Amino acid sequence: MKELSVGAITFLEKKVLLIHQINGNHIGFPKGHIEINESPEKTALREVYEETGIKIKLESLSYSIKYKLKSGINKEVIYFCASALNNKIKIQTEEIHNAFWLEIEEALQKLTYDNDKKALKYFSKKFKA
């Protein structure tokens, strides 16, 4: 069985947007499942806005992470690189403990998963953040 999530690694000047998720209690990036008849790009735009209140512009870069969940499900996460169009965070309290902007180096220390750290390093080099 496979599961797909899509999100965005969002930059604002020299900072990146992180979220502290309630489910799993980890720090990462906004992401979620594709809805019926929704493109991955539309999913990324929707998920970032729903979870953080941040509107974004997608860049032409994406990064895919694949791993196996404890349940045995093969998971793929596609992240798009994005620029923030606003900076005022309004969290979705049902799913998110907190959301915040951090400098890249500090974000690399806060991220829970190594795969997310690799994605951030990839985008920060390509995007010149």
Average pLDDT, the chain: 94
Distance CA(112)–CA(18), nearest Å, equals 11
**pLDDT (tens digit, 9 = 90+) per residue, 37-92?**
999 999 999 999 999 999 999 998 899 999 998 888 999 999 999 999 999 999 99
Q: Is 90 helix (H, G, I), strand (E, B) or coil?
A: coil
CA distances from 68 to 72, 74, 96, 107 (A): 6, 5, 23, 24
Torsions phi, psi of 64, nearest 5? -110, 135
- Which domains, from first to last, does the chain contain? 2-127 (3.90.79.10)
Distance CA(13)–CA(71), nearest Å, equals 38
